[in-house]
Every structure is written in structure tokens, then in C-alpha cells.
Homo-oligomer: A and B are copies of this chain.
Amino acid sequence: MSALVKNAAGRLVPTEINGKPAVPYQGVHQFRPSGRKAAPPIRSCADYPADGNKIVGSLREALERCGVKNGMTVGTHHHFRNGDFVANAVMDTLADMGVRDVVWAPSASFPCHAPMVRHLESGVMHHIEGSMNGPLGEYCSAGKMRGLGVLRSHGGRFQAIQDDELHIDLAVIAAPTADPFGNANGVQGPSACGPLGFALADSLYADRVVVVTDNLVPFPCVPWQIHGQNVDYVVVHDRIGDPSKIVSGTTQVTRSPDRLLIAEYIARFVAEVGIMADGFSFQAGAGGITLAFALYLKELMRKANVKARFIRGGSTKYLVDMLQEGFTDYILDGQTFDLDGVRSMREDPKRHLDTSPFTSYNFHGKGNFASILDCVVLGATEVDRAFNANVVTHSDGVLLHGIGGWQNCLTAKCTILAVPSFRDRIPVILDRVTTLCGPGELIDVIATERGIAINPRRQDLIDAAKRCTVPIRSIDDIADEVNRLTGGPPDAPTLGDKVVAAIKWVDGTVIDSVRQSLNC
């Protein structure tokens, strides 16, 4: 383990991660990348079947043909969320083949990937670069993983692969529909899960790419969200995932009165400060409060006869309803959170648009969609009085959530964090977040059931909110009240010295690190 240095946010971070140098966070928009994008090997059609049929007999055969080696990095996507069957199959096959020290780079991992613990224990897998939830998060937090976990946002994963910080040797793409050439999409077939954008970077930059499908169609598979021109082999499985499990508990509207109040406050705030105007845009993904916000806002839009130009998902039936009822021209969607979203993307592709971490979130492009948004509503596990926020750990310091697109969304014109003021009697507004994921200068509003706090940096918003009917309070005022009610801030978590994971910022620098939890 390299020495830790204090970065521009005052957080101790490693300068070397898994043997490679790492750049400490330098502040918002301060780091400028140099160099050139990753350059995949040039291939020749002479080495691929002229008739376009790349099907091989089994996943193992595909992996053998791709060439496997100890220490290789394997990329998978998480559009099936907790219903993915393919990542485990890949790692089991690599284990059977005797491969060791694999780096797994999923776009996210879920509880269904708990069997990976076995591969971490046995030495087949060295470490995970990607979000670690549930059993994998606990395993990493306990300090048991041999390498350092690396957590990146969706845009950060694209950036890292594009910039060759994260080299994918082998990508395996679970595809609900594919043709023998490797063209693939996620909107058709019995396992339809929506877009496949989380696999885009892998398909573009990995040395070898395998598509695994359970719905083979004759060429051409249309739409081709993944281009067969980037695919080496196609494998047909009986079943690649359970699309019913892309729906999680976070795609239900909250029933909690406190959380409904937060949602209503945000909707009224967005309307009353003038963000909700004809042609505006907002992002509202999964999460009980966020969904409720979208429903409240819809009613306000109806009353004011306002139409959005676009809404960003992850999509749910609530957003699809808004599209169909004419409340927006477009949904720009990187991840469908329920089957209504999948159906809409399949049947209404001119208006329900397939986006990717490249189009939406990659910070190392010539702009991205996230910063164009007028307003985004996000959650957080913790915030602090300086408007900094945490999404990966709770106050016990254990890795619990991935970053998702959360960091990437912070560049919206108005970033609103919707948080209950306390959870399980633990205040959510702290003096200092346990893990820093988002710098306070990018977070404009923190909305709680006790009122809304506007970042003092946003005098324009403070002015606009002067006649707002929602209670506007200072962050300290809300935090102090909650501390009085709950008995004060939580105890500091019991952490060891060992760093178990690094949190990347959207530009590839290290914004914070996670230390071993002694309670795991």
C-alpha cells in the first residue's frame, strides 16, 4: 500500500492503486487530462467468418478462443441488476479453466453476485473494480479482498476505460437479443432489460468481446445497440437473466409521509423558483422520493400547462406515462428500472431514447448530457453542512451502495439531494460525511422533510426562492434541530488503518478512500 496524501478536498487518498499510479482529486473542474484515448488492436475481417456467423458452442469455447490469462480484467454489465445470470457463469467458467487473479470490472454488482465471494476466497478473483453491494461490500469492507476496490460512477467507468486507466481484456455482454454477427440489443426477447449502454465502453475498447444471448435472431438484429463489428464471438444460453429482477424496491413510490413531504417540497420548489418552465428538463430516476417528486411535478406541470423538452431516466412507468400523456417530448434513458420502461424504449424509439454513459455522463468528452439538465433530484446516504455528500457508505463506514450515475449528475444546473433528516434515529446531515463522493460546491439544494436548504454559493437560487411557499432554512438550522431531536451525530465508525477501496471522481482522480471496518 502506498502512502496516503491529502487531496484538494482534505481527504486522505492513496497515490497508487493496485500497482498503478493514481492522481489525487484536485477540485471541481481543476484536473485536465493529457494524453490520448485507449487504442484497441486493429483487427481484420480476414480473421472473422465472411458469412458473419460468430457463434461458438459454449461460453468456455468462446473464452478459450479469446485467450485467457492470469490477472486478466473481465468486464460485465448490470442492466439485469439483481437478475443477472451471466457474470457468475463467466467467473465459474474461468475458475474451471484454472485462471487466477482475475480483476472483475462490472458496471455494478448486486446481491445476486454473492457467489463471487467464493472466487475471491479461492484466488480466482483478485479484486473488484465496480460498485460492491451487500455481501461483496461487506467482504471488501472487512479488508478481506486482496486488491483495492475501486468505485467509479457510470460516467467514470466509461472515462476510465476510454482513457485506458481501466483496460478490459475480455468483455462478456449479456444480450437479450442478438444475431450471429454479434449485433445485440436489450429491448427485445424474453429477457429484455432495456438499453445496453453500460456495455458500450467494453464493446468499444476491450481486446475481446463475447456476446451471450438467449434470443438469437437472423441478421440483422435491430436495433443494434451493440455493434457486431466490435464482437468476437456469440454464445447462446438458455437463459441469461431474470428481467423481473431489474425491478427493485427502489422503483416503488414511497409511502412514508415524511418522504412524500420531501418530494412535494422539491416539486413546489422547482416550480416556484422558475425551473419548471416550458422546454425545461429534469432527471428523476429510481428511488421512492424521486418517483414521488416526478408525480407531484407532473401535477404542477399540468396545472401550469408546462411541457418539458426532455426527462432523463432511468425510466419507470411514471416517466413513460408522462411521455405518453404529452408532458415531455423525449425520455433520454440509460437504464430501464421496470418493464414499462423496457416496453416504451422498444416500441417508441423515436421519443424514448437509448443513451449511454458516453452520451450522458463521460466527463472526458466534448461535453455530456448531464450538465445540460435544468434540474436533477438525487439521494444520498449522508450530507454535511458544507453540502458535501456520500452515497457509498452509511455512517458505520461499510460499503453499501455503488455510485451509479450520481456523481455525473451533479453538474446539472440545479442539483437537489432529497434526504430524510434522519434514518433510524441517526442524523443524515453531519459535520463531515464519512465518505466524500460529491463535493459540496456542486450540490445546490438539500431537501428534507424539515425544509429545504440552498447552498450559500447559489445566491441566484436563494433570490429566486424568496417568495417560495416551501420552508427554506439554512443547513445548519436543520442540522442543529435534528441533532437536538436525535441526541446528536452518530459515533464515528470503528475503522482500521487499512484502505480497502478508492472512490474515483468523474475525472479519474481519487476523491476519497474507504478504510477497513472493524465491525464487519
Contact = CB atoms under 8 A, between A and B. Distances in A.
A367 B309 CA distance: 39
A363 B42 contact: no
Contacts of A349: 349-350
B279 A45 contact: no
A384 to B, nearest CB: 24
B366 A507 contact: no
B38 A39 contact: yes
B40 A36 contact: yes
A211 to B, nearest CB: 11
Nearest to A52: B372
A507 B44 contact: yes
Contacts of A39: 36-39
B42 A36 contact: yes
A150 to B, nearest CB: 19
Interface string A347-386: 0011101000011001111111101100000000000000
B46 A42 contact: no
Nearest to A48: B367
A469 interface: no
Interface stretch (A79-87, A220-228, A269-277): A220-228
A229 B368 contact: yes
B181 A367 contact: yes
The oligomer's copy count stands at 2
Contacts of A413: 50-51
Contact of A366 (B30, B37, B51, B232): B232
Interface in A409-425: 411, 413
Interface string A25-38: 00001111111111
B46 A41 contact: no
B350 A45 contact: no
A104 interface: no
Nearest to A347: B350
Contact of A29 (B29, B46, B309): B46
Contact of A227 (B51, B220, B359, B371): B359
Contacts of A330: 220, 222
A350 to B, nearest CB: 7
Interface string A289-322: 0000000000000000000011000000000000
Given A34-B42, A220-B330, 15 more contacts: A32-B47, A33-B42, A39-B39, A43-B364, A44-B363, A45-B363, A45-B367, A45-B368, A48-B366, A50-B367, A209-B366, A229-B365, A229-B366, A230-B365, A232-B366
